[in-house]
Amino acid sequence: MKPVVSLRGASLQFGKRLLWEDLDLDIRPGEFFAVLGPNGSGKTSFLKVLLGLQELQSGRATLGDRPVERGSKLIGYIPQQKSFAPDTPMRARDLVGLGVDGHRWGLRLGRSGANRRIDELLELVGASDYAKVPVGQLSGGEQQRLRVAQALATDPKVLLCDEPLLSLDLHHQQAVSALINKQCHAQNSAVVFVTHEINPIIDYVDRVLYLAGGRFRVGTPEEVMTTEVLSELYGSHVEVIHANGRIVVVGLPDATTHHHADVHATAGKVA
């Protein structure tokens, strides 16, 4: 099948900090593709390249048959969960509505079409009951369901997700990742899922891109999530333990990614 996302010889560097170099990658429709790595390894920058918000140093990135561009209709985007202020003047259905026609000029005329689409999307993610509740009064999990509905508004061929499960409880992690997986298979969309935690999506993932220390590795979770591969990426010994279908990485070095302000200690963290 023709790939929907392609990178050829892609390199990205901020100042002296190399994120990755010479990255060749094809993501096919219907593929659930996870991007893993410690903080500051360039996971979010990877998404920004696909969104057309970040230029590559060298190489090229294409979506469908065309170079990546800002505002591409092929893309749906689920941002990191960031709670809305309690008095944000917007209801759940208005948030979804932004995905439907928020980018168009002028006023929304002929409301019924947009309203029908919004109702469909709310139904799809199981958010109909709180359609009219101000977003600021919803829980993080509920807000993130709405983000999924919002991202699906245009029937995207590629669904880009930036840590969509962050700060959700286990129940909502499962619900939101199942929704995303459903879109992946039902609509044959490619999913690019950035996360530092593979376990909530381990059952869905087809391939992973693991970024660390300016190096990367692409492959199935079985190929990449091993003691040998990760030790090589990190340049020091880390232990990968498989237990009950979960993957635990032990002994991650501190600040693997150079001198970046928001690099947190990741030692001993489940990855």
Partner 1 sequence: MDADSIIGAIFSFENYGELLVLVQNSIWAGAVLGLLGGLVGTFVMKRDLAFAVHGISELSFAGAAFALLIGSDIVFGSLIGSVAAALLLGLMGVRARDKNSIIGVIMPFGLGLGILFLSLYEGRAANKFGLLTGQIVSVDTVQLQVLAGAAVLVIAALAAIWRPLNFASVDPELAEARGVPVRTLALIFMVLLGVSVALSIQVVGALLVLALLITPAAAALRVTSAPVAVVALSVVFAVTATVGGILLALGGRIPISPYVTTLSFLIYVVCRIVGSVRAKKGINGRLVHAR
Q: Which residues bind partner 1 (CB under 8 A)?
A: 51-53, 69-72, 75, 77, 79, 82, 87-91, 94-95, 98-99, 101-108, 128-134, 137, 150
Q: How far is the CB of 168 from partner 1 (least distance, A)?
A: 18
Q: How far is the CB of 160 from partner 1 (least distance, A)?
A: 8
Q: How far is the CB of 238 from partner 1 (least distance, A)?
A: 33
Q: How far is the CB of 231 from partner 1 (least distance, A)?
A: 35
Pick 125 or 271: Cβ nearer partner 1: 125
Pick 11 or 128: Cβ nearer partner 1: 128
CA 34 to each of CA 175, 192, 228, 229: distance values in angstroms, whole numbers, following the listed order = 17, 6, 20, 16
Residue from 43, 38, 36, 41 nearest 251 by CA: 38
Pick 71 or 245: Cβ nearer partner 1: 71
Pick 51 or 211: Cβ nearer partner 1: 51
Pick 163 or 210: Cβ nearer partner 1: 163
Compute the C-alpha angle 202/223/260, nearest 5°.
75
Residue from 100, 70, 72, 95 nearest 84 by CA: 95
Q: How far is the CB of 82 from partner 1 (least distance, A)?
A: 8
Pick 32 or 77: Cβ nearer partner 1: 77
Q: How far is the CB of 77 from partner 1 (least distance, A)?
A: 5
Q: How far is the CB of 60 from partner 1 (least distance, A)?
A: 20
CA 175 to each of CA 95, 112, 142, 207: distance values in angstroms, whole numbers, following the listed order = 19, 29, 10, 21
Pick 42 or 214: Cβ nearer partner 1: 42
